[in-house]
Amino acid sequence: MLIRLSNLCKVYNTGGVEVHALRDIDLGIDRGEFVAICGPSGSGKSTLMHILGCLDRPTSGSYFLDDTPISGYNDKELSKIRNRNIGFVFQSFNLIQQLTVRENVGLPLLYNRVPVDEIQKKVIDILGDVELEKRMLHRPAELSGGEQQRTAIARAIINDPSILLADEPTGNLDTRIGQEIMSIFSRLHKDGKTIVVVTHNDAVASYAERQINLMDGMIGL
């Protein structure tokens, strides 16, 4: 099991009022699974993704990632886990506008001090996988929405992370382009990648082999 959550809770204090974003979450995700976390706005799915992605810590309960107990890790330790083990794809792409496609995709390797020659080879290979090798010298503003999201996917998988997290990855795309993006996730899953997609879109969720429904911070039936 790659991910295991036990009695996980997240409580926010807002103006002296406690908001229970997640309540007693018990969840396991096996290595190689493709899972969709579904639910309406305010259900807790984004909070859950932030905890899975080590962008936030639970208030209580346990989170094991690849048998490593990380619930109590500090910010520096969580940053290392994110850099080594987790790839992120966001609805808004989150590309650096001043950098080319090649530079955006290679950035995680640069942070890990990978030799430049090796970075260039890996970037070219990854861009070929997402059919962007002819756009590698373009900047994000020169790309379509679908091309920007494919760039973001390439950047997310360049480090070969243990898990790929996608937050509404087709939310800014039309239906046809969204289907193309989800077909890339399907291909990555077939290649053995563990994928968790957060979505309120039933069509997107249908690509996953398992759906987890959240309501009021709890896992429903």
**Domain ranges in the chain?**
3-219
Residues 189-218 have pLDDT tens digits of: 999 999 999 998 999 999 999 999 999 999
Model's pTM, two decimal places? 0.92
Enter the DSSP assignment of 19. E
E strand spans, the chain: 3-14, 17-29, 34-38, 60-65, 68-69, 86-90, 163-167, 194-199, 210-215, 218-219
**pLDDT tops 70 at residue 221:** no
- 115-139 mean pLDDT: 93
- C-alpha distances (whole Å) from 190 to each of 161, 184, 209, 221 are 15, 10, 11, 27
Give pLDDT, residue 41: 86
Is CATH 3.40.50.300 the classification given to domain 3-219?
A: yes
What percent of the chain clears pLDDT 90, i.e. is strictly above it?
Answer: 76
Enter the DSSP assignment of 33. -
Contact, 17 vs 33, CB < 8 A?
Answer: no
- Which two tokens mark 181? 């993006």
